[in-house]
Amino acid sequence: MKGVILAGGHATRLRPITLATSKHLLPIYNKPMIYYPLATLLSAGIKDILFICSPEHSGQYVNLLGSGSKFGAKFAYEIQDEPKGLAHGLSLAENFARGDGCAMILGDNIFEDSVAKQVKNFDKGAMIFVKEVDDPERFGVVEFGQGNKVKSIEEKPAKPKSNFAQTGLYVYDGDVFGHIKELKPSERGELEITDLNNVYLDRDELVAEKISGEWIDAGTFDSLLRAANFIASKETNENK
């Protein structure tokens, strides 16, 4: 299993603090943001990891993370010239994956729970992780049917069919790159991750794992502050 961390984009919602650096390099309490999704993959036993970066910040990532040796891992880097959707970002990992399955995590997502068990047991198809939230209209909304099976996934609906949000952590088998090539750009001109997941859903090859611990998508000023406060509180409690 290979790992992919998406850390591209322009982070316009966080300007002016992202005018000089990447959002994913901003501090979350005592560590750069990118350390947290990285820790999620490493704790799941994934040691071969590709970082997808924007061209203007790629050198900063190499300076910070290096070869991966200090993390007991092996890192590679790929440039996403312009953000064309999460599925497009994942497509850049095709040569890196070399037919293997891969776990992709967004560089601004912070998970409290370990996903080691789920990743270890993954075999084929696609696996997404969902969290019950108060504002599902901001995310891809996952509707469940009988037997806790995924019934539908809808991107940022005005009238959500559930309160379960699709988080920024996805696991795919080696067929994923072929499926991405069949996607058509959305109205935003992007290859959407929800459209990719719906390909697996239509094939009855998609499972959703519900997480109970904290999950923060640190892409706004409010969530950035919440993430810092959460990590500070957790670090303080662990050091008592």
pTM of the model: 0.94
Counting the structural domains of the chain, the total is 1
Average pLDDT rounded to a whole number, residues 60-84: 95
- What the block records as the tokens of 119 is 């990743």
Alpha carbons 234 and 91: distance in angstroms, whole number: 35
Share of the chain above pLDDT 70, in %: 100
Average pLDDT rounded to a whole number, residues 216-234: 93
pLDDT in tens, 144-201: 988 789 999 998 899 999 999 999 999 999 999 999 999 999 988 899 999 999 999 9
What single letter denotes the amino acid at residue 90? L
| Per-residue b or e along 170-192, where b marks 16 or more CB atoms closer than 10 Å to that residue's CB | bbbbebbbebbeebeeeeeebbb
What single letter denotes the amino acid at residue 199? V
Q: Which domain holds residue 136?
A: 2-238
The domain that holds 142 is classified in CATH as: 3.90.550.10
Q: Does residue 87 surpass a pLDDT of 90?
A: yes
Q: Does residue 234 surpass a pLDDT of 90?
A: no
